[in-house]
Amino acid sequence: MGKKTKAAIAIAAASAAAWAGSKAISRPQKREDKEVLTYSRPIVLAHRGGSLLAPEHTMLAFEKALALGVDGFELDIRLTKDEEIVVFHDETIDRTCEGTGFIKDYTLEELKQFNFGYHFVDLDGNSPYKDQKVEIVALRELFEIFPNTYINIDIKDHPESYEGSLMPSKLWRLIEEFKAENQVVVTSFYSEQVDRFNLYAQNQVALGAGENDVRKAFTAFTSQFGHLYHPKVDVFQIPPKHGVAALDSPRFIAFLSKLNIPVHYWTIDDEETICRLIENGARGIVTDRPDIAVKAIEQIQNRAKED
């Protein structure tokens, strides 16, 4: 037996021993149940209120989505100049209304003067709200009007910005004020923001996975050391693919499900993909077309009853 062969065998033996040792001392810890995530069927969340059917992040969109039968909303938040939390995605208002500039440079009252339906174009190519004012929505308005609706809140302000540094504490205080702990999921692309928020919430609120959380989970899943993965979030809201990584495989979904972590996929607007993802084990669909998604889920449920 050559030296290279002996070395390879030794390395393999050491790896196997390390795997066996870690398996013996490490037991994956399931996440505790969160009330907002205890549902018996796949759910539909309207992305920004259903942004292909009405101006995104406006009361028009949220009300229309609920009328179509969605289970809740997926929305983004930012902080204004007067430190009010508004429901909005972009840093600037340019793409959405007739004004220009950054959200952080306006007070809520000033933002209320703009028409946030100005650039919206419907499925027929019309601009029905160009000549009427559609107001921006403060997060507290949603809590007031929809006190029992599932709301997935995505913190958009960068953690190193002034607004981002304030957002976790301000969001927690607002949730606490409206006693909405069991109504919401708080997430962010920046895992750091989720961690900061949880310093205040202390696991009283369901947490969504940030980019780092998804990377760690997928790396653990594709390695031989998945048993070493200990999640610190309660739900994954992810695209079916990220680069070359397929995040929609039944095995990856099952890996997370065993840890009591449901998986929701965004942004899915066609029936075929919705059906495939639900068949793979997805527990939620985030969509810009709630009309399509709600009907697709209903059909899936009806077929399941017939079977």
Mean pLDDT of the chain: 91
Predicted confidence at residue 14, as pLDDT, reads: 40
**Which residue intervals of 146-284 are DSSP H helices?**
162-177, 191-201, 211-222, 250-257, 271-280
242 touches 217 (CB < 8 A): no
Tokens of 52: 């292909």
- 152 forms beta bridges with 74, 185
Identity of the residue numbered 233: V
Asked whether the predicted pLDDT for residue 26 surpasses 80, the reply is no
Backbone φ and ψ for 185, nearest 5 degrees, come out as -120, 135
Max CA pair span of the chain:
83
Rounded to whole angstroms, how far apart are CA atoms 204 and 73? 20
Asked whether the predicted pLDDT for residue 236 surpasses 90, the reply is yes
The residue that leads in pLDDT, 307 or 139, is: 139
283 touches 264 (CB < 8 A): yes
Backbone φ and ψ for 105, nearest 5 degrees, come out as -95, 0
Rg of the chain taking only CA atoms, in angstroms:
22
Calculate what percentage of the chain has a pLDDT beyond 90: 84
Residues with Cβ within 8 Å of 202's Cβ and at least 6 positions away in sequence, in order, are none
Domains plus CATH for the chain? 30-306 (3.20.20.190)
Chain Cα centroid distance, residue 54: 20
Q: How many CB atoms lie within 10 A of CB 35?
A: 10
Predicted confidence at residue 33, as pLDDT, reads: 95
Asked whether the predicted pLDDT for residue 9 surpasses 50, the reply is no
Backbone φ and ψ for 263, nearest 5 degrees, come out as -120, 130
Q: Average of pLDDT values for 66-78? A: 98
Rounded to whole angstroms, how far apart are CA atoms 59 and 277? 29
285 touches 292 (CB < 8 A): no
Q: Average of pLDDT values for 207-233? A: 91
Asked whether the predicted pLDDT for residue 11 surpasses 80, the reply is no
Residues with Cβ within 8 Å of 150's Cβ and at least 6 positions away in sequence, in order, are 36, 43, 45, 71, 72, 73, 183, 184, 185
pLDDT digits (tens, 9 = 90+) for 86-100: 999 999 999 999 899
Q: How many CB atoms lie within 10 A of CB 115?
A: 20
Rounded to whole angstroms, how far apart are CA atoms 19 and 198? 32
Predicted confidence at residue 23, as pLDDT, reads: 46
Predicted confidence at residue 225, as pLDDT, reads: 73
Three-state secondary structure string covering 57-92: CCHHHHHHHHHHCCCEEEEEEEECCCCCEEECCCCE
